[in-house]
Amino acid sequence: MDKKKAADYLKISVRQLQRHMSAKRISYTTIKTPRGDEAVFTREELNRFKKERREGTDATVHPAVDDPERQTSNTLETPRQGEQTALVARDALESIAELIHGLQVTQAGIIEQMRERPALAPAPDDVLLTAGKTVSIENKLMLTLPEAAELSGISVDHLRSAVRDGKLKTVKGIGGGYGKVKRAELDRFIKSL
Q: Please state, in angstroms and rounded to a whole number, the distance separating the CA atoms of residues 168 and 182.
A: 10
pLDDT at 82: 60
- pLDDT above 90 covers a percentage of the chain that reads 8
pLDDT at 193: 82
**39 beta partners:** 30
More confident residue, 128 or 53: 53
The answer, yes or no, to whether residue 78 has pLDDT greater than 60, is: no
The arithmetic mean of pLDDT across residues 142-146, rounded, is 88
Residues 6+ apart with CB under 8 A from 7: 13, 14, 16, 17
The answer, yes or no, to whether residue 33 has pLDDT greater than 70, is: yes
The residues spanned by each domain of the chain are 3-69, 137-192
Q: Which spans in the chain are helix H?
A: 3-10, 14-22, 43-56, 81-116, 145-152, 156-165, 183-192
The answer, yes or no, to whether residue 63 has pLDDT greater than 80, is: no
The arithmetic mean of pLDDT across residues 165-190, rounded, is 84
Closest to 3 measured CA to CA, from 88, 102, 92: 102
pLDDT at 36: 81
pTM: 0.32
Single-letter residue type at 52: E
Q: Please state, in angstroms and rounded to a whole number, the distance separating the CA atoms of residues 6 and 184.
A: 48
Q: Please state, in angstroms and rounded to a whole number, the distance separating the CA atoms of residues 134 and 146.
A: 17
3-state SS class at 43: helix
